[in-house]
């Protein structure tokens, strides 16, 4: 059975950055550039922080991905077991900043899927 996390990962891999991982799945970082999906709980919604990492000096590429490509990749609903949900932006994004773990330049954007409670 596929999960929302796996479906989101699959969708993001269709974009220009093919190295897409779920936070915590592997301690080894993928090759640069890469995207990390960090699922979080949020009460009435499933929250996702989506981070993009690239070499220092690639600010324009990061901004292009976070502000334009990512929303375009997520404009169509995700589907899991016949259930469709549109993943929505919270409007919040951060960066660029230096990731101390691998000295990459990074940016992030927050998204959510509403949950029926």
pLDDT digits (tens, 9 = 90+) for 14-41: 999 999 999 988 777 889 999 999 999 8
Banded pLDDT at 45 (limits 50, 70, 90): confident
pTM across the whole model? 0.92
Spacing of C-alpha 88 from chain mean position:
12
pLDDT of residue 100: 82
Domain extent, residue 66, equals 4-114
Per-residue pLDDT, 10:
96
Residue 63 Rama label (left phi>0; alpha psi -120 to 50; beta): alpha
CATH number (domain holding residue 33): 3.30.2000.20
> Looking at residues 69-98, what average pLDDT do you find?
93
CA–CA dist 75, 85 (Å, integer): 11
Give the integer Cα–Cα distance in Å for 105 and 34: 11
| Pick from 89, 93, 92, 79: nearest CA to 111 | 89
Contact 32, 87 (CB under 8 A): no
Q: How many domains are contained in the chain?
A: 1
pLDDT, one tens digit per residue, over 56-65 is 999 999 999 9
């Amino acid at each position: 059975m596929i999960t929302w996390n796996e479906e989101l990962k699959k969708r993001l891999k269709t974009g220009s950055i093919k190295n897409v991982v779920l936070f915590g799945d592997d301690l080894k970082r993928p090759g640069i550039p890469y995207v990390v999906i960090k699922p979080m709980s949020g009460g009435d919604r499933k929250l996702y922080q989506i981070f993009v990492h690239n070499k220092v000096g690639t600010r324009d590429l990061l901004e292009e991905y976070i502000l334009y490509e990512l929303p375009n990749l997520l404009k169509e609903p995700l589907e899991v077991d016949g259930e469709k949900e549109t993943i929505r932006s919270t409007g919040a994004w951060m960066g660029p900043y230096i990731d101390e773990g691998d000295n990459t330049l990074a940016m992030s954007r927050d998204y959510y899927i509403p949950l029926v409670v």
